Amino acid sequence: MKYIFVTGGVMSGLGKGITCASIGRLLVDMGYSVIPIKIDPYINIDAGTMNPFQHGEVYVLKDGTEVDLDLGHYERFIGVELTGDHNITTGKIYRNVIEKERKGEYLGQTVQIIPHVTDEIKSWIRRVAEESGADVCLVEIGGTVGDIEGMPFLEAVRQMKNELKHEDFMLVHVTLIPLDTGGEQKTKPTQHSVKELRSLGLQPDAIVGRCVEKLKPETKRKISLFCDVPVEAVISNENVEDIYEVPLKFREEKFDEYIIKRLKLEKRPYKSEWEEIVKRLKSLKEEVTIAIVGKYTHVRDSYISIVEALKHGGIVAGCKVKINWIESEELEGKENVEIEGDGILVPGGFGRRGAEGKIRAIQYARENNIPFLGICFGFQLAVIEFARNVIGWEDANSGEFAKEGHLVIDLLPEQKKVKELGGTMRLGEIEVTVVKGTLAYKLYGREKVYERHRHRYEVNPEYIEDLKRHGLVISGHSDNGRRVEIIEYPKNDFFIGTQFHPEFKSRPYNPSPIFVGFVKASLENKLEG
């Protein structure tokens, strides 16, 4: 088993996740199997209860684990399906250690960071790597070198370096190369970052420099000299138009060749699938505008999988997707709502704030026959909008923020006694039955699909027949028909809502059928309009 560890220095938000995913893509394109692991040094067990303002999107894996958005990048770039085992947090590690201590497994020893916590970290990494049967295990360590939270993980990496053969261990350090006022690329932050790593007993084998412009030869030579890495191992990661270009930029830098040489892997023929995807993306001329109406629109990472799924849909539809970000609260209280966009998307979310604005957006889409896609909370609000404005139940609402009236959306039965918030929703991949003859069936082309969920509330079964009688189509269901999964409004050309999150399974080489259909409909709307 080969291990590649990815660390970050200088500052957070440099794109370690994209770097890690891109390295994985390089290896996959050379015919190697890769398994990624993300280490998040926070004490939270998982990302499920974390605020999107601070953390960005909560990504849901196949087994229902709520994780950091970087695991979404891994799945999209590398083409793997991950589980909770592929996300390590401080909370998970300490929970395991404490449980072992309580069971007496340490035989009366004083339980300490070294060796007990670091042993637990190493054991977890090795177990996941070995069980996968992959050729290479990629491990991204979240945070920045020097953060106190990450110290136990970096110490575990140091120990693994000494336990593994030289050719089985590689450390990639991602750092910032800023420009000064005169436009000169400055290496001092990188030097200090590497110095910090060395103080922990770690020496990078390669340095990836995040920069505005391509690293100059003299910048590379300077980093090589001061940081003790070969010049060929100083990799430029300049700004690109699209993140999918990063693996190709790395290939231009011959990063793939260096990795092969460093790990003593066999050089294999290169597959060009990813290159073809990027070529198609860059060749798109037509443009379609999608209005995303949400309450975290100024934190774009909150909707990163949706943005990527729209991009994937655009590849098939033959158009670029431009996003018009609309803060839902700004639509509340307006006498007349007008939304600029060839299609309107209302994403998932929770809580009362901004909900009425989203309902106004849905009403606008329905009444003006604008292609509409509602996801999770957006799906639930579409049902409320229909109940209010088509059926005429002015008091239609969700049990999430109302106690009386026509509660067309209500808690799942198994959620009514739940007290803890973390990991307690309806989570993960669930079988959905798609009804023949519907728009959803036309999009999927099959009766059984498997999509990922993250919700506590659902369409209240008591109102299903009323909704259907007034013209709402239930085109997807689960749990032997008891739970509504997809709704449609057939009077419109394209109006669909999904209780699940189709964006989590969309890939550039295998786009979500829902998103493909939505983007195509939005393009048709633009061309017809």
Q: Where is 117: in which H helix or E strand?
A: none
- Residues that are catalytic: 376, 501, 503
Domains in the chain: ranges and CATH: 2-248+255-277 (3.40.50.300), 285-528 (3.40.50.880)
| Among candidate residues 7, 80, 83, the one with its CA nearest the CA of residue 41 | 7
**pTM score, whole prediction:** 0.94
Identify the pLDDT of residue 86.
97
User: Distance (Å, rounded) from C-alpha 505 to C-alpha 511?
Assistant: 8
Residue 500: pLDDT over 70: yes
Q: Judge residue 512's burial from the number of C-beta atoms within 10 Å of its C-beta, 0-12 exposed, 13-18 middle, 19 or more buried.
A: buried
Determine the number of helices (DSSP H) and then strands (DSSP E) in the chain: 17, 21
* Pair of tokens at residue 431: 């079988």
Are 349 and 375 in contact, with CB atoms under 8 Å apart? Answer: no
User: Distance (Å, rounded) from C-alpha 189 to C-alpha 69?
Assistant: 27
For residue 508, say if its preceding peptide bond is cis, omega within 30 degrees of 0.
Answer: no
pLDDT digits (tens, 9 = 90+) for 149-165: 999 999 999 999 999 99
> At 74, is the pLDDT very low, low, confident or very high (cuts 50, 70, 90)?
very high
pLDDT digits (tens, 9 = 90+) for 391-420: 999 999 999 888 899 999 998 777 677 666
Identify the pLDDT of residue 415.
66
